[in-house]
Amino acid sequence: MATAQHPSTPSVRTGVQPLRAGQGTSFLWRKLHSLLGIIPIGAFLIEHLLSNYEALKGPAAYGAQVRFLNSLPLVRVLEWVFIFLPILYHGLYGLYIWMRGKSNLVYYPWAGNWMYTAQRYTGLIAILYIGQHVLRQRFMGISLPENPGAAFAKVQHELANPWMLAVYIIAMIAICWHFAYGIWLFAAKWGITPGAAARKRFGYVCAALGFALAVMGLVSIWAFVGPKYKNTPDIVPLAAVAVTASPVLSAPPAAVISAAV
């Protein structure tokens, strides 16, 4: 007598569908998202925070750093290929990943689940912040590639608004958190830390890095809003910096600045 159904007949009709073995391209897109988070986006984040740290040396040094970056060969191509497009892809695909996850933190409030959720909210903060930051600092107002000397004052005016200052501080912490846990996730998901002990140890490394980056970022913010460089002129002449290396020409930068004002 025949059985009602052959045992090898696929029995899954509703609910979560089985693996589409070997089919589709989502593996590639997902791994690209993951990789871009480290290189170039993460690498750029570190570069950006190091550059901002120059602000502690004053408006002229900061302007000189902006000028140096804009003097890189093919800088406009670099900017699009290694910064804007990767962030746009990682951000939008990140939102897509988020939409497809089904959060269950209320039932399973475990550490890893918290971090999984935090990675999504910090990513959201990052994309909103980066959107306005690039628009307002790169594409609106005085053009910094053409006037690197205006960089310090432009940021200073932005941060003079206490709401903006709050936005920058929150975003700084959120993005450093996202990047730090992102490195940890990357190592776990690419099989670099397959052991539980290795993941734990690497967790401390990532936390230390994230903390250091966030502190560096916050200290740089302080350089713009603190008393030291109050009321920086809109455009600082950068020749003053080029000469600091030469003892013969080391005219006091303050004099040059007041001359410029």
Partner 1 sequence: MANKTIALEIKRQSSPDAPAVWEKFELPWRPGMNVISAMMEIAANPVTADGQPTTPITYDSNCLEEICGSCAMRINGKARMACSALIDNLEQPIRIEPLSKFPLVRDLQVDRSVLFENLKRVKAWVPIDGTYDLGSGPRIFPQVQEVNYPLSNCISCTCCMEVCPQFNEDTGFVGAATIAQVKLFNNNPTGKVFKEERLRALAGDGGVQECGYAQNCVEACPKQIPLTNAISDVSRDVLIQKAKDFLRG
Footprint on this chain of ligand HEM (rule: CB under 6 A): 34, 37-38, 41-42, 45, 87, 90-91, 94-95, 97-98, 119-120, 123-124, 126-127, 175, 178-179, 182-183, 185-186, 189
* Pairwise CA distance, residues 223 & 57, whole Å: 8
What is the DSSP secondary structure assignment for residue 5, as one 8-state letter? S
Give the residue, chosen from 3, 4, 100, 146, that forms a contact with partner 1 under the rule CB under 8 A.
Answer: 100
Instruction: List the one residue from 72, 81, 103, 226 that touches partner 1 (CB under 8 A).
Output: 103
134 touches, from ligand HEM, partner 1, none (C-beta below 5 to 8 Å by class): none
Nearest distance, CB of residue 16 and partner 1, angstroms: 5
Q: Measured from the CB of residue 97, what is the shortest distance to ligand HEM in angstroms?
A: 5
Is residue 230 a contact point for partner 1 (CB under 8 A)? no
Residue 42 contacts which entry, partner 1, ligand HEM, none (Cβ below 5-8 A, type-dependent): ligand HEM
Q: Does 195 bind partner 1 (CB under 8 A)?
A: yes
Computed on alpha carbons and rounded to an integer, the radius of gyration of the chain in Å comes to: 24
Residue 108 backbone class (left: φ over 0; alpha: ψ -120 to 50; beta: rest): beta
d(CA 84, CA 66): 17
Tell me: does residue 118 bind partner 1 (CB under 8 A): no
Of the candidates 223, 209, 133, 201, the one whose C-alpha atom is nearest the C-alpha of residue 176 is 209
- How many whole angstroms separate alpha carbon 74 and alpha carbon 258? 34
Determine, following the binding rule CB under 8 A, whether residue 19 of this chain makes contact with partner 1.
Answer: yes
> Should residue 11 be labelled a site residue for partner 1 when binding is judged by CB under 8 A?
yes
Find the binder of partner 1 among 51, 113, 137, 244 (CB under 8 A): 113
The two structure tokens encoding residue 176: 């450093």
Residue among 31 and 228 whose Cβ is closer to partner 1: 31
* CA pair distance 166, 225, nearest whole angstrom: 12
Residue type, 71: S
Are 260 and 237 in contact by the 8 Å Cβ rule? The answer is: yes
Q: Is 205 one of the binding residues for partner 1 (CB under 8 A)?
A: no
Nearer to ligand HEM, 57 or 120 (CB): 120
Cα–Cα distance for residue pair 31/36, rounded to 1 Å? 8
For residue 109 the two structure tokens come to 């409030």
**In this structure, what token pair is assigned to residue 201?**
């140890």
Binding site for partner 1 (CB under 8 A): 10-27, 30-31, 97, 99-104, 107-108, 110-113, 115-116, 119, 185, 188-196, 199
